Chains A and B, each alone.
Chain A
Amino acid sequence: MNIAVETSTEGIVIFRLTGKLNMVYAPTLRQEITEQISTGHNKIVIDMSGVDFMDSSGLGALINGLKGARQAGGDLRLAAPVEQVKLVLKLTNLDRVIKTYSSAEKAFSES
């Protein structure tokens, strides 16, 4: 899996992921999100459009980031998940907890 990080002029951090978000790569993502939050960024977007598969370990990394961002007064949101990711979110009821948007650019545009 590849992780590219960019910060918008509004201070929103966008993680653009490519590949499979599973038990092998979840710890790396968790650590990178934690680093961003610890340096003062509390608005995090995970662009999932390039993730063709996510397991419960990947979901755990997202929840860890969500909790960290919310504790810092911000939020973690998802952009453009594929069907498999939507299925995992739905069956675990996390679709009620993590907000999902059609694109990374829209994730914080209406908050």
Chain B
Amino acid sequence: MNDASYSLTMFSPPATLDEVHELLSAVWEKSPHVSAENQMRFETALIELVSNVFRHADTGDGVACALNIDISDMHIEAQLSDTGEPGDFKLMHATMPDELSESGRGIALIQALMDEFTFENQGEHNIWRILRRFTPEEAE
């Protein structure tokens, strides 16, 4: 059994991502069954997600986020709940912008990195969820 759960509460400003990286370092140390490729994909997707929330969900009073990470033999999953502005947010069919565009890649990048990526608004909270499934070899 490789089940484990982690949680972290963050506030922005200041927008710092160091604590997310630090938490993941600890996660990878305790879960060596997660391959280097999946570690890389998950960390990249999660940082994009947290950055996106910090950047777009701050209505002036700052934003608080609760992050939960769950690992099993089969997958790794993160759920991020923020207090930002209720988003009229559409995740469907995000596409990469023009090659020379300087922004607008975050959502499409998360979709390319993860097996599942969902968003829903529940009252005062936006709930974001990303999930990466392990290959059968990794899940053994």
A-to-B contact residues, CB < 8 Å: 20, 22-24, 53, 55-57, 59-61, 63-64, 66-67, 83-84, 87-88, 91-94, 96-97
Contact = CB atoms under 8 A, between A and B. Distances in A.
Interface stretch (B13-21, B59-67, B132-140): B13-21
Contacts, number: 64
Nearest to B111: A91
Given A22-B51, A53-B47, A59 B105 contact: yes
B55 interface: yes
B99 A97 contact: yes
B96 interface: yes
Interface of B: 15-17, 21, 36, 40-41, 43-44, 47-48, 51, 54-55, 96, 99-103, 105-106, 108-109, 112-113
B21 A20 contact: yes
A63 B44 CA distance: 19
Given A22-B47, A24-B17, A91-B112, A60 B103 contact: yes
Given A22-B17, A64-B102, A55 B96 contact: no
A54 to B, nearest CB: 9
Contacts of A87: 40-41, 44
